[in-house]
Amino acid sequence: MEMNRRRMLQGMVSGVGATLGNSLIPDFVRSAPAVAGSPKRVIFFMQNQGFDPATAIPAGMKNSGSLAKAKLPEPIEALEPYKERLHIINGLHGMHSNPNHSAFFGALGGYRGSDGTPPRASTIDYELSKALPQTLLPHLCIGMDSMESMTVKPTIAKLSASGAGQPIFMHSNPNHLYQMLYGGISEGEIRKEHEAQSSMLDRIEQLAAANGGTLRGINKQRYGQFVQGFNDINGLRERLRSVSGHLRKFAPELDEGYSNPEFETDWHDRILDLGISALTSGITNTLTIGSGRGEIYGAWKGLGIEKIGHILGHMKQPDNPIWIKIRQYNCRMLVRIIEALESVPEGSGTMMDHSLIVYTSNNADKQHTNGANWPVMLLGNFDGAFKTGCFTQLDGTRPINALYTSILRASGVECDRFNMSENMAAEFDSGTGPLKEILV
């Protein structure tokens, strides 16, 4: 797991206090110095195989306008009750990101990406985790895939990065993630396993630190990063234990879906529950969800879909019963996030009032694409920063980087171009700065 150590050093107290509303802040947090900035949070939901705009744009809607009198298409009809919070954006592009089967790190990085290629720079989710008020775990990535893949490869890094050549791992086994987040407050075998693993990791960190002294140059630097990784994991465990009383209110219930899943979607649902609990408890303020984990595979047998993997990307999505089921499942997940955030008081409103959900794909509009159109749905106004209840049709000359620039600006970061040089912008961006069409 990639952690930002400097931001962790301020510790547990200000981290939790910055993220929770006063009604839920424990006494020992209320007395802590306030951290500057609103308690905002951002969630990225990346569905693989593309996001065809016809599955989201209301029929007959060709130009920008209000969604108030429009009927949402069947694939996203679960969002109808939240239409006033929704902003559908069509006409961004990502041609520079090479999103054929997937743009991989380039989808959230806004740069050229490909399978097996390390990230060229940090991704927007990581940069936001640095800009938003501190939390115990600045950035959490969770992934959904086939049962076999999540079991054999419980972590994978394909979407998020903290810098060039520094991928951030994505958690896909809900049992492992539960133990990491809530093992310290559990009982029975889970508690025993958590303590045994913690002891082992402490020992590994000690041995690693002692054995790296003879290395030089780049090897010493890489080994130092390895040791720091264990230090960060062990530090996180200790900080989570320090707020165990608070976390008990938010830990999901362990049920058969964790230990004995019938379908992969049972694990999808449980891993989402853990991501939501990390947001509502204040453990994190930036959550990245990878349905398909940034690759071209994935399975949804629990929805009655027998076809899996790459072949799903070769199917047209509009009016396709398979893709209707997948998109509806996604939207039900988005509703679960909204409802959970709305249930937690924060300031004069709720957590959802200060949150933004970004739904799109890691390869633009379809699996085999040049990235000329990259549809996006936003949910929430991010403390009043974004327009909602509307559809915006852009002209295809602004890149996804401009959207990421807009979110950074709304987070208080001065940025004119996210991960785009002047030379690249001359070819791929007709403007500069944020997307004025989507900001209030």
Q: What is the pTM of this model?
A: 0.86
Find the farthest-apart pair of alpha carbons in the chain and give their distance in angstroms, rounded: 69
Partner residues linked to 167 by β-bridges: 161
- The closest of 151, 404, 160, 438 to 284, measured between CA atoms, is 160
Give residue 207's pLDDT: 58
In a 13 Å sphere around the CA of 240, the CA atoms on its Cβ side amount to: 27
Give residue 382's pLDDT: 97
Q: Where are the beta strands (DSSP E) in 362-437?
A: 376-379, 390-393
Q: Within a domain: residue 320?
A: yes
Q: Within a domain: residue 303?
A: yes
Q: Within a domain: residue 57?
A: yes
Give residue 404's pLDDT: 98
Q: Within a domain: residue 43?
A: yes
Segment (H or E) for 427 = helix 422-428
Q: Within a domain: residue 254?
A: no
Number of domains in the chain: 1
Q: Within a domain: residue 202?
A: no
**Structure-block tokens of residue 270:** 């449980």
Q: Within a domain: residue 255?
A: no
Segment (H or E) for 146 = none
Give residue 31's pLDDT: 28
Query: Could you list the residue range(s) of the whole structural domain that residue 363 is in?
Result: 5-175+263-428
Q: Where are the beta strands (DSSP E) in 233-382?
A: 286-291, 345-346, 349-350, 355-361, 376-379
Q: Within a domain: residue 134?
A: yes
Give residue 27's pLDDT: 31
Give residue 34's pLDDT: 33
CATH number of the domain within which 139 lies: 3.40.720
| Mean pLDDT of successive 10-residue stretches along the chain, which has 440 residues | 34 31 32 50 98 97 97 98 98 96 97 95 97 91 97 94 93 93 70 57 56 57 54 71 86 94 98 97 96 95 94 95 98 98 94 98 95 98 97 98 98 96 97 97
Give residue 344's pLDDT: 95
Q: What CA–CA distances, in Å, run from 303 to 19, 64, 139, 175, 271? A: 35, 34, 29, 22, 17
Give residue 13's pLDDT: 28
